[in-house]
Every structure is written in C-alpha cells, then in structure tokens.
C-alpha cells in the first residue's frame, strides 16, 4: 500500500491502542476489540493516534459537548505538521467549508436550508420519483438476470448503488450523465487501495466539477437544492460559492455512499435470517423495523472522523487532552450491550421497539439526510422483495467481500439470484 503512515506497529509499542486495519474484512472482530478497549478507546489510524467513543451513552454526551469541534485547525497533530495531506484519511476531515466541518451559529447558517428540504413532509413530494427510479432499476435487474448465463446478478452495481445516486442527483440537480463519473470517483476516494496522490487529484477534479455546477445554477437557477442554497437569504448572510460547493459535495458523498450500505446490509441480514424475512413478507413486521435494526446492527458508517478537543475534557478517569482527535465508532455503539442488551450482536427484528440506535449521530450535526435514507430504503426493500420474493444470495455469506474502506461498511459486490 502506498502509505507512509501505515507502519504496522503492535499494541505494545503504541501504548495499547487498537490498530484499525485499513483492509479489514472481519468487522465483528474489530468491533469486539474496540468494545473491549472501553468507552473511550485509544486507536491508531494508519499510524495516527486518536481516541474513539465506543458506547452509546458516552457518545450522547460528547456529541453535544461544544468543547469538541470539527475545525481541523484545532488538531494538535495537524498544527505541528505531524499529520499532512499525505495521510490517506485527511479527505474525511479536510472536506472544505460546509455544514460538515463548521460548528455553532455558522453551522446553523450553513445547514438550515438543507435540513428544511429534507423533512419527512417535503420528502413526500419526491416519493413518486424515488418509486419510479426504483421500478426502472428493478427492470434493469430483471434484464441482467435474464442475460446472465447462471442467473447471477450483482445487486450492488445494478440496484443499490445507482438508486441513491439518482435520488441525491435529482435533489441536488446533478445531470444523470455525470452519475457514473461520480460513482467511480467516490469509490476510489473511499478505497484504501487508492494511492494518496490519486485521491488528492480526484478530490481536486470533483471540486472543479462542483464549482462549475454551482456557477451554472447561479446563472440559471432551477428547482433543486443547489439552486435553493445559492438563493437562500433568510437567517442572515447568503452562502458563499465555497460554502455551497462544500454542502453540495457533502450531500452527494454522504447521500450516495451511506445509503448503498443501508440497502445492501438490510438485504443481506434478511437473507441470512430467513425466519425473520418470512415475518416481514407475511406482513407481521414492518419494513421500518427492518431498517432500524439494520441501522443498529450493521451500520453503514463504521467510524466517523473526527472532532477535536479545544480544551481538556474529563471523561470518567480519563482525559481527552486539548488538541486530541476524537472518532465516533458507530458500529461499536450499535453493538453496545449497555444500550441494546446482552444480545446486541444478534440481528433480531422482533426485539422490543423502538430500537434506540444512534447511527445517524446526535446533537447539532445529526444526519440531515436521515429521513431521506429511510424513505429510500423503505421503497427499495419493499419493491425489491415484492418483485423478487425468492431472492437469495448466490454465494456463501463469508464469501461476500467488504470493500477495503476504513470508515464505511460497504460490500465490493453482492451476487444474488433473483428467483430462488
Ligand atoms: C467525503 C468527501 C467530501 O468531499 C465531503 C465529505 C463531507 C461529508 C462526509 C463525506 C466526505 C464522507 C462520508 C460522510 C459524509 C457525511 C456523512 C458520511 C462522513 C468527508 C458518513 O459516513 C456518515
């Protein structure tokens, strides 16, 4: 791997920190190690030390603590030049000025318009479009199935990946012709196999693309959220071009990558728990429950990078020192026994609801796209199983490969048979 920070060090030489493996395949083992390391665990990310939160209750507390900020300049390692743009995960933090990277009153200014556009009520307006995309992609799936000699199709590339791209593309006003380019670039952005120079280059190309789109929408506003962000004036200062670009790329990256994981992980969980799938298909348990349990049990985001302490923060007997970086390990939080019971590691849609997971975060930065992803997943799953009730995996579960991605939980492909 082309990565200067990836010096493999064992636990003894780094003060007992859990070394997060960029090529991780066994996420359950990693999650268990983190859970065992305590509520606030020391980790190492490609040679860079950080703390991570592995418990629901502590995350709930720290995610509303104003002493933890998103501003990269508050990071001691960054100030001292010990972390630079050579670090492969820097793109997860240094993502331009947007609602993802700013706190406080400025954050509200950057975020309000987007969250207003994504309320459940507003989303009812785009439901028919999501249903139409879903139907078209299911036709494509059926066609692929007929063309394929052994009947095997990749549920990811034909269905679960293009659907969120189309939805977020429509919402933000990104032409369909650009979707393959965007999907290809984001795949390379997240992959740990991509050399860092290549990742920096593709991010620069994306910035050029988004800036051109924002200029076009400034000249000719249309009925999309990008235009609304440009025109927004209520609540003070209008957003700058840089801020609109930042929000736009955050929306496209987040809306696309995380929803793929949600849809695929739900299908996989149901296919490996056929007794539970039966209950859903018989109408005993609603799709909403499947979605919430999937969000808890197999989170699309494994680790969220990063917040920085602006002063020392006492946490039990431990201290987050001023300048230290704090990650939130959402997968470990979803498997927290104190929150979800001793059977937290089991996928069980019959557990007492509501399932109080924290997969969309908490506090001011709570995912503004949560309702959108739920609507998308609800439509996608019910339509998929409605059309192909005999759907099954074409390979054994342990043959499904995870993408080599450190922060996200996404499959390389999901080969399925459509007709049992
Ligand atoms: C990817 C690169 C980019 O250009 C902009 C962003 C900002 C939003 C980030 C996104 C990133 C990575 C995936 C994130 C998303 C917000 C939600 C999503 C972290 C850094 C999650 O995985 C929860």
> If you take atom 23 of ligand 1, which residue's CA is the nearest one?
301
Ligand 1 site, residue 329, Cβ cutoff 6 A: no
Burial class (CB in 10 A: 0-12, 13-18, 19+), 161: buried
Tell me, in angstroms, the distance from the centre of ligand 1 to residue 272's CA. Answer: 29
With contact defined as beta carbons under 8 Å apart, do 342 and 268 qualify?
no
304 touches ligand 1 (CB under 6 Å): yes
Cα–Cα dist 407/390, whole Å? 33
| 250 Cβ closer than 6 Å to some ligand 1 atom | yes
Q: Is 370 in the pocket of ligand 1 (CB under 6 A)?
A: no
Residue found under tokens 């969980």: 269
State whether the beta carbon of 1 lies less than 6 angstroms from ligand 1. no
Q: Please state the pTM of the whole predicted model.
A: 0.95
301 CB within 6 A, ligand 1:
yes
Give the residue carrying structure tokens 């780094």: 14
> Best of 172, 213, 250, 259 to mutate for ligand 1, by most ligand atoms within 8 A of CB?
250
Nearest-CA residue for atom 14 of ligand 1: 254
Q: Which residues contact 223 (CB under 8 A, 6 or more apart)?
A: none
- Determine if ligand 1 sits within 6 Å of the CB of residue 247: no
Q: In a structure prediction context, what are the per-residue pLDDT tens digits for the chain, which is 420 residues long?
A: 344 444 344 444 677 899 999 999 999 999 999 999 999 999 999 999 999 999 999 999 999 999 999 999 999 999 999 999 999 999 999 999 999 999 999 999 999 999 999 999 999 999 999 999 999 999 999 999 999 999 999 999 999 999 999 999 999 999 999 999 999 999 999 999 999 999 999 999 999 999 999 999 999 999 999 999 999 876 668 899 999 999 999 999 999 899 999 999 999 999 999 999 999 999 999 999 999 999 999 999 999 999 999 999 999 999 999 999 999 999 999 999 999 999 999 999 999 867 899 999 999 999 999 999 999 999 999 999 999 999 999 999 999 999 999 999 999 999 999 997
């Amino acid at each position: 791997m082309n990565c200067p920070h990836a010096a493999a060090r064992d636990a003894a030489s780094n003060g007992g920190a859990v070394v997060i493996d960029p090529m991780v395949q066994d996420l359950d083992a990693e999650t268990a190690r983190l859970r065992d390391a305590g509520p606030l665990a020391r980790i190492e990310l490609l040679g860079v030390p950080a703390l991570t939160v592995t418990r629901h209750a502590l995350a709930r507390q720290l995610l509303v603590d104003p002493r933890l900020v998103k501003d990269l300049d508050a990071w001691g390692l960054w100030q001292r030049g010990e972390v630079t743009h050579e670090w492969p995960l820097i793109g997860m933090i240094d993502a331009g000025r947007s609602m993802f990277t700013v706190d406080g009153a400025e954050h509200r200014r950057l975020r309000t318009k987007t969250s207003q556009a994504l309320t459940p009520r507003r989303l009812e307006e785009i439901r028919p479009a999501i249903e139409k995309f879903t139907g078209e992609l299911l036709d494509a799936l059926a066609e692929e199935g007929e063309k394929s000699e052994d009947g095997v199709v990749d549920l990811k590339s034909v269905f679960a990946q293009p659907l969120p791209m189309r939805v977020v593309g429509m919402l933000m006003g990104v032409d369909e012709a650009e979707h393959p380019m965007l999907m290809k670039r984001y795949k390379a952005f997240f992959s740990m196999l991509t050399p860092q120079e290549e990742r920096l280059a593709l991010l620069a190309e994306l910035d050029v693309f988004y800036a051109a789109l924002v200029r076009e929408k400034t000249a000719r506003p249309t009925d999309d959220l990008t235009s609304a962000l440009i025109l927004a004036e209520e609540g003070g200062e209008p957003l700058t071009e840089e801020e609109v670009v930042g929000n736009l790329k955050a929306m496209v990256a987040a809306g696309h990558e995380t929803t793929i994981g949600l849809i695929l992980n739900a299908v996989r969980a149901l296919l490996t728990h056929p007794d539970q799938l039966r209950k859903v298909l018989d109408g005993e348990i609603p799709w909403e429950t499947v979605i919430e349990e999937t969000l808890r049990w197999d989170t699309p985001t494994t680790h969220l990078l990063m917040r920085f302490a602006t002063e020392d923060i006492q946490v039990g007997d431990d201290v987050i020192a001023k300048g230290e970086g704090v990650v939130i390990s959402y997968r470990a939080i979803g498997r927290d026994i104190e929150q979800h019971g001793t059977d937290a590691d089991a996928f069980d849609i019959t557990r007492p609801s509501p399932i109080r997971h924290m997969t969309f975060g908490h506090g001011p930065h709570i995912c503004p796209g949560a309702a959108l992803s739920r609507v998308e997943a609800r439509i996608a799953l019910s339509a998929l199983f409605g059309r192909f009730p005999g759907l099954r995996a074409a390979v054994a579960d342990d043959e499904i490969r995870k993408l080599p991605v450190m922060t996200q939980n996404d499959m390389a492909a999901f080969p399925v048979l459509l007709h049992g």
